A = this chain, B = another copy of it.
Amino acid sequence: MATIKEVAAHAGVTPTTVTNVLRGRGRVGDATRDRVLAAVAATNYHPNLNARALVERKSPTLALMLGCLTNPFYPEFTLQAHLAARSENRFLLICNTDYEEDGGRQFLNEVAGSLSDGVLVANKGNLNLEQFKSIEKRGVPVVISIWEDPAQHPGIPCIAFDSTKAGKMATQHLIDLGHQHIGALIASPAEGIHAGRYAGYRDALEEANLPVKTKQIRFCEDTYEDGYRTAFELLTTNKGMTALFVSNDLPAIGVLDAAAEMGLRVPEDISVVSVTNIHMASQSRPGLTTVAIPTTEMAFEAIEMLLELTRNKPAQPPMKVIEKLRLVERHSTGAPKA
């Protein structure tokens, strides 16, 4: 690893001049520039980013905290965040908090403000907001992305989408198709991360003067397996339903498999709709009808907000809500049988 001094010596200049040509600062004579560039090539020089970060008081990395990369939503979000970060010439440091016994506190403490200029939090519902506020107090910007409730500000800068609207759109699609007996499978506690999606389901039903029947509603873990298991139980004990609103794609795919296992045809016997539109939703049988949330936009806006916060601290923590929601009709929904 050549250092800037060596390059400078090689080119017969000082480190300052090398920096100047490499960073495009100051004015440098053409001949000198050529000599420097030649020396850089000859020595295969690459600046030490740690040293640069130290003096510039600014690091080239951003930290991303998420629950677990193994939940298929996160890789998609992470990829977009990575792309956004790269487009700003930043690198992404990741932390799967589910496996840190302290929920990522140590990661945050070590990384925030030294290795990383800021931290992006992919919301998974059980956020320890105080933890992030204490990071902010140290002057390190934090933004929460995929915040589900525009009506309730977490007190930390965030990028949100309207999850209630998403839940409502999904349910409304079922109603438009003519369904009147629509159960729900919510992949969080009632007051948990999918509370908004759940509220959207109830709103749609109420506006259509359809009853909200607790007997037809279940809460489960946000996994394929628990979606499968819970749907199996719900579908065996409640026979009258023609459609199911599921609050997330992964458990919805479990629902599809449970229905098949029971000999129920989707959508002929039961329609299934959900929210998110992960890649897998197009790889299920049948393809899953779902309300797509703006994953890409939330990732890009989050990175942008984070970077902006490294430049200026606003008096109030901003919230940006991305309105874009889109019903993606595939083949898991259809009209109820007459």
* Option from B50, B92, B93, B110 in Cβ contact (under 8 Å) with A114: B50
The one of B60, B68, B78, B96 that contacts A115, using a Cβ cutoff of 8 Å: B60
Contacts of A155 in B (CB 8 A): none
Query: When the two chains form their complex, are residues A92 and B91 in contact, meaning their CB atoms are under 8 A apart?
Result: no
Complex Cα spacing A95 to B61, Å: 12
The yes or no answer to A219 lying at the interface (CB within 8 A) is: no
- Inter-chain contacts of A111 with B (CB < 8 A): 49, 91
Q: Which of A255-285 contact B (CB under 8 A)?
A: 256-257, 260-261, 279-280, 283, 285
* Interfacial chain B residues near A140, Cβ < 8 Å: 1
Query: A139 on the interface (CB 8 Å rule)?
Result: yes
Known: A61-B115, A111-B49. Is A283-B254 also a contact (CB below 8 A)? yes
* Chain B residues in 8 Å Cβ range of A118: none
Interface residues of A in 50-96 (CB under 8 A from B): 50-51, 53-54, 59-61, 68-70, 72, 74-76, 78-79, 82-83, 86, 91-96
Q: Is A141 among interface residues, defined by CB-CB distance under 8 A?
A: no
Give the residue of B48, B83, B137 whose beta carbon is less than 8 angstroms from that of A99. Answer: B83
Q: How far is the CB of A272 from chain B (nearest CB, A)?
A: 14
A285 to chain B: closest residue by CB: B257
Task: Tell me, in angstroms, the Cα distance from A324 to B48 when the chains sit together.
Answer: 40
Contacts of A44 on B, CB cut-off 8 Å? 134, 137-138
Q: Quick one: which of B70, B76, B254 contacts A76, CB cutoff 8 A? A: B70
**B50 with A54: CB separation less than 8 A:** yes
A253 contacts partner chain B, Cβ-Cβ < 8 Å: yes
* Contact (Cβ within 8 A) B91 A91: no
- A107 vs B90: C-alpha distance when bound (angstroms): 10
By the criterion CB–CB under 8 Å, are B91 and A115 in contact? Answer: yes
Task: Among B53, B83, B114, point to the contact of A47 (Cβ < 8 A).
Answer: B114
Jot down 5 A-B pairs with beta carbons below 8 A, ordered by A.
Answer: A49-B110, A50-B54, A51-B54, A92-B94, A260-B285
Given known contacts A49-B114, A82-B96, what 13 new A-B pairs fall within 8 Å (CB)? A46-B113, A50-B54, A60-B110, A61-B61, A61-B115, A72-B72, A72-B75, A79-B99, A82-B94, A82-B95, A83-B96, A224-B283, A285-B285
Which 7 A/B pairs are nearest by Cβ-Cβ distance? A69-B75, A48-B114, A49-B114, A75-B75, A50-B53, A224-B283, A49-B115
